[in-house]
Structure 1
Amino acid sequence: MSKTVEFYFDLGSPATYLAYTQLPKICEQTDSQLVYVPILLGGVFKATGNASPATVPAKGRYMFIDLDRYAKRYGVPLKINPHFPINTLVLMRAVTGMQMRHPERFAAFVDCLFKALWIEGRNLNDPATVGAVLSENGFDPEEILALSAEEDVKSALKDTTEKAVQRGVFGAPSMFVGEQLFFGQDRLDFVIEALS
């Protein structure tokens, strides 16, 4: 495997969820490696002066219609979360902690959270709901909460977010093939071209 896709992601983005459903298949087809880089989208927005398209009402309405079109094209389920936007600070710290401490369970962890947010439409702003989702998927909520509070985990997420901004990331999903940045799940065709 000579090619790599670095996938900068935050669970709170529906477009990132769609990219997440497609990238493993793309990497398999192009004999490439997928590298997950958790970032805090709120931190990226703050550092770059960007904001979610959902903050512009007409654009937000259009965005959700367009994401639904892509979900149908990809053949994947998507439910726009009625609790959107989700504050993902603790969630992304937990994702970072799982990647650092339990890489063997990282994929299952990320998968259950994306599913809860963008298939089941659950309110992951609510700690009790997060706890229920984790328990249902075989994770100990108290262990995960403790992991997300560890100082080196918090520092690691802050570091990856700052480095993402330094590389030119202004939103999620962002993907790098070498030094080429591709933003948005609607740019996956360019990712495929860069890998081919």
Structure 2
Amino acid sequence: MTDHQAPGPIRFYLDFASPYAYAVHRDLEALAERHGRALEWRPILVWAVLKALGVPPPLESEAKRRYLLADMARSAAFHGLPYREPVRLPLSTHLAARIFHACHEVDPVAAKAFGRSVFRAFFAEGLDIADEAVLLSLAGEQGLAPDFVRDAMTGAEGKARLARAVEAALADGVVGSPFVLLDGEGFFGADRLPQIAWRLDRPHQQERSAP
């Protein structure tokens, strides 16, 4: 990036069933805004990324599942967010992600608002975000027509958009959710938020110019 180029957007790869993406989404938005950076939401399917990488699902171990369920509640409380244990995990969020990507093409602001409502529905209200009726209701709150939403969920282009998002995630080195790509540098996990803030205050260009 040269001195004459505006900084590009920060990419926020997320799965709507990721409690850690939920935990940091609000703070990440605020952090990007403070630094004058756009935050580009990129919903993906973590299970598809892990499958491509040959990595087992994180909830496959019962001991790890017990720990993660407790840590989910703690992490939400730490970030000041309401939390209710999800109705079921694991859960595929392909329908919600397809709606987001379709909406983003016509109204990026509404797409983010929809994304926030999906997080809230799953992690604070105990709703099943794999249920088409639930998603139709959430999308309707953003003014999306039912036919548009149904086509996004089940149409060929909706499936293709999400497949492209997963492919882009793999190309960007994504290994889970949340994963932030900041000026080509990847940060994985909710606990990376302080490092993202540090990097925004101290970009690579400053490090290279230091004696």
Task: Name the TM-score, length of structure 2 as normaliser.
Answer: 0.83
Alignment deviations for residues 50-73 of structure 1 (CA, whole Å, 9 cap, x no partner): 243222111121122222222222
Please point out which of 67, 76, 81 is paired with 1:76: 81
For the aligned residue pairs, the C-alpha RMSD in angstroms reads 2.0
Contact 1:38-1:95 at 8 Å conserved across structures: yes
Higher RCO, Cα 8 Å, sep 6+: 1
1:103 aligned partner: 108
Q: How much identity, in percent, do the aligned residues show?
A: 29
Query: Counterparts of 2:154 and 2:106 in 1: how far apart (Å)?
Result: 13
1:76-155 to structure 2, matched below 5 A, reads 76-135=81-140, 138-155=143-160
Tell me: CA distance 1:69–1:149, structure 2 relative to 1, closer, same or farther (3 Å).
same
Alignment of 1:39 with 2:44, yes or no, is: yes
Please point out which of 184, 190, 194 is paired with 2:195: 190
Please give the secondary structure, in 1, of the residue aligned with 2:38.
strand
Q: 1:157: Cα distance to partner?
A: 1.7
Please point out which of 26, 34, 58 is paired with 1:29: 34
Tell me: CA distance 1:173–1:100, structure 2 relative to 1, closer, same or farther (3 Å).
same
1:48-87 to structure 2, matched below 5 A, reads 48-87=53-92
Contact 1:3-1:195 at 8 Å conserved across structures: no
Tell me which structure has the larger Cα radius of gyration. 2
Alignment deviations for residues 95-154 of structure 1 (CA, whole Å, 9 cap, x no partner): 111111232411221121111111101112333333344445654333211123343332
- One-letter code of the match for 2:54? G
Query: Counterparts of 2:131 and 2:152 in 1: how far apart (Å)?
Result: 18
Contact 1:10-1:38 at 8 Å conserved across structures: yes
Contact 1:14-1:118 at 8 Å conserved across structures: yes
Q: 1:6: Cα distance to partner?
A: 0.8
Task: Name the TM-score, length of structure 1 as normaliser.
Answer: 0.89
Please give the secondary structure, in 1, of the residue aligned with 2:41.
strand
Tell me: CA distance 1:137–1:156, structure 2 relative to 1, closer, same or farther (3 Å).
closer
Please point out which of 167, 175, 179 is paired with 1:174: 179
